[in-house]
Amino acid sequence: MDRKPEVPGAYKVFPDHAEPCVWMVAGLLGYRICDRDFDCEHCPLDAAIHGAHGGRDPGTVEEPGEEAPDWGIRDGLAYHPVYGWVAEAGEGRVRWGIDGLSARLLDHLTEVVVPPSGSEIAVGKFACWVMDDGELVPLRAPVSGRVARANPALGREPTLVTHDPYGDGWLLELECAGELSVQPGLCDAPERRRRAAWQMRRFHRDAAAYLRLDPAIGPTAQDGGERLPGLRRMLGRERYHRLVFALLR
């Protein structure tokens, strides 16, 4: 990573040519140097953060007893592995909304575009669109069915989708062929968390790859640079949404 000239008198902690861990870039760790060339798939620290095993790398700076992130996935619901949660809504309908992970990624949402009642949607196909920070982001359907109605509250307050994704921010109610128990491809909350961990590992790794190539990114952490801002700001709108698109496809 290209670095800015050192500030006179600044205390430099990063060794020359060292790179920050992707979890440090993401803001979860205060200080951590990557010594595996961003091979996150085989990193014991990455596995420990995701709860893949009981042990923890002694180099982490997490508080004792702190659990691995749950990525905002709520228990007691059915999930598509990527496309959000679904729940029985009565009268033969299924209610669909985005999950907590997507809500965190799309936290600059300003508008929701929904299909008209009576539209047929298919699992894995584009069914809704949200405007996030000026970018139109497509959302794929978690199940197949006919649109019974859209959430009327979203026309007045679209930010409910991300501020209250499991409550007043639901997207659509669908008439499906059969109950949720017979819908293909759904999973429970623990499985969705495992998938979310894999998604965010990929997201952070790809973000770090962008940042390594960006000469505008200067020193970070306690090496004389400014405190790391959010990934959205660091990457810029276009690159940030490119990674989100890849994550939600």
- Closest residue by Cα to residue 40 from 165, 206, 185: 206
pLDDT for the residue 119? 97
151 vs 16: CA distance, rounded Å: 54
Give the global pTM: 0.69
- Closest residue by Cα to residue 207 from 185, 186, 236: 236
**CB 111: neighbour CB atoms within 10 A?**
14
234 vs 94: CA distance, rounded Å: 38
What domains are defined for the chain?
19-69+190-248 (no CATH), 78-187 (2.40.50.100)
- Predicted confidence pLDDT, tens digits, the chain (249 residues): 444 444 454 444 556 556 667 666 555 566 777 776 666 656 777 665 544 333 333 233 333 344 557 889 999 999 999 999 999 998 889 999 999 999 999 999 999 999 999 999 999 999 999 999 999 999 999 999 999 999 999 999 999 999 999 999 999 999 998 888 889 999 999 999 999 998 988 888 888 877 765 555 444 443 333 333 477 888 888 888 998 988 888
pLDDT for the residue 17? 58
Rg (CA), the chain: 20
* C-beta separation of 29 from 60 below 8 A: yes
Is 109 exposed, middle or buried, given 0-12, 13-18 or 19+ CB atoms closer than 10 A? Answer: buried
pLDDT for the residue 11? 45
User: What is the DSSP secondary structure assignment for residue 187, as one 8-state letter?
Assistant: B
pLDDT for the residue 163? 96
55 vs 27: CA distance, rounded Å: 21
